[in-house]
Structure 1
């Protein structure tokens, strides 16, 4: 069961890490952010940690975590680089790093942040997100001493509200894992996010903001449906 204080903490760090992405992209585009990331840890949260520690005092308040939360913050921030975003190929642009000696993911990502976009989701991403949702649903059902058959799952998933609640619940599980530095299958967080934060017409919901209250409401709905007589 998700607890309110845990969710408030996770949602706060999620919002701050995304604010840092936006601030950093704007800063690099305008040329006022120096780049000195640690090249040796291109796919490791330590690379993000080195950069964040160096520039911590420069961050705007909404992108700056408390120092005691830096480890979790860096874990989450680094996970965005490998999962949710990619460089967009544009004519006339090339990968660049200081002194032209490193073209690792971290270096290229920072330099090209203004060209960063959410990467297109693949069918594999969607299948992995489906499995994550099914795993969460099965785990919740066990709390009610139920073993779900495929037909029962299909019946439950015909409910649009329940599908959205389950996607939000599953995303929250991945968020908590990412904060701890645990691995999450590539593409899953982004695929899940779009199932509750985007409209049925594949556009971001206007003014959508992740909240602990919404997650707890989703959790309640799932438990209510699973506790109901079959």
Structure 2
């Protein structure tokens, strides 16, 4: 049965989409991503509050084998929403350890930062110095952004190959010249990277750049209402497939 507003050609494309992204696979990957992120925040909070040493936190957050050993030993002490099913421990820990390469730095001596309630005013009268958190988001370089751009191009090429469509640089650029096209390509590239991360493969901060392409507002600020859903990847690929086929015919 076609959904409202869905054409027969769209339905056929959706059926073919399963060759690249399976909804059930994506749901499992997103669950691992969210749980491992919560664990990272929990570990970092432990360092900030002093009940976990920096060396312990850094070692278990960087090495999959060490993370597995620690997770199995402390499984019942970890918040339920930040731990995996027992049969997913290996993939979970592999994913967990990619965060310190892709998105965050865990600083032993983070220093201090100026704090203002609700970021209202940072003058000396309205703000004061507080200890900075040990876990801090990586700063993106121009190289990271170029790498993210190349990952988007690769993602579009993957779709074109699966679709059997010849692809020229002009066709790729026509997709990336639009905000929607950039978001779609970023989602597809991010989806491919999720598969790598459960094997412990960390691409680097370019993945953070991809994330901000669809999880942040176009103005460059975080979107607090954003929630990653498996259907987003499918819809993104559907849109890119439409663009590739329509540009050729």
Range into which the TM-score falls when normalised by the shorter chain: 0.7 to 0.9
CA distance in 2, matches of 1:36, 1:206: 32
For the aligned residues, what is the CA RMSD?
Answer: 2.6
Question: 1:10 Cα shift?
Answer: 0.3
- Structure 1 residue 137 corresponds to structure 2 residue 156: yes
Q: Aligned residue for 1:51?
A: 70
Q: Aligned residue for 1:192?
A: 210
Is the Cα contact below 8 Å between 1:38 and 1:50 reproduced in 2?
A: no
Pair 65,75 (structure 1): closer, same or farther in 2 beyond 3 Å: same
Q: Aligned residue for 1:209?
A: 227
* CA displacement, residues 64-88 of structure 1 (integer Å, 9 cap, x when unaligned): 1101000110001000022211145
CA distance in 1, matches of 2:155, 2:56: 37
Gaps of 5+ in 2: 1-19, 113-130
Aligned pair count reads 211
Q: Aligned residue for 1:19?
A: 38
- Structure 1 residue 73 corresponds to structure 2 residue 100: no
CA distance in 1, matches of 2:197, 2:167: 28
CA distance in 2, matches of 1:53, 1:171: 29
List 4+ stretches of structure 1 deviating above 3 A.
31-43, 87-92
Pair 228,56 (structure 1): closer, same or farther in 2 beyond 3 Å: same
Higher Cα Rg, which structure? 2
1:218 pairs with one of 236, 239, 242: 236
CA distance in 2, matches of 1:42, 1:213: 30
- Structure 1 residue 28 corresponds to structure 2 residue 47: yes
Gaps of 5+ in 1: 93-111
Question: 1:116 Cα shift?
Answer: 1.1
CA distance in 1, matches of 2:58, 2:44: 19
CA distance in 1, matches of 2:132, 2:86: 25
SS at match of 2:97: helix
Q: Aligned residue for 1:179?
A: 198
Question: TM-score under structure 2 normalisation?
Answer: 0.76
Is the Cα contact below 8 Å between 2:27 and 2:229 reproduced in 1?
A: yes
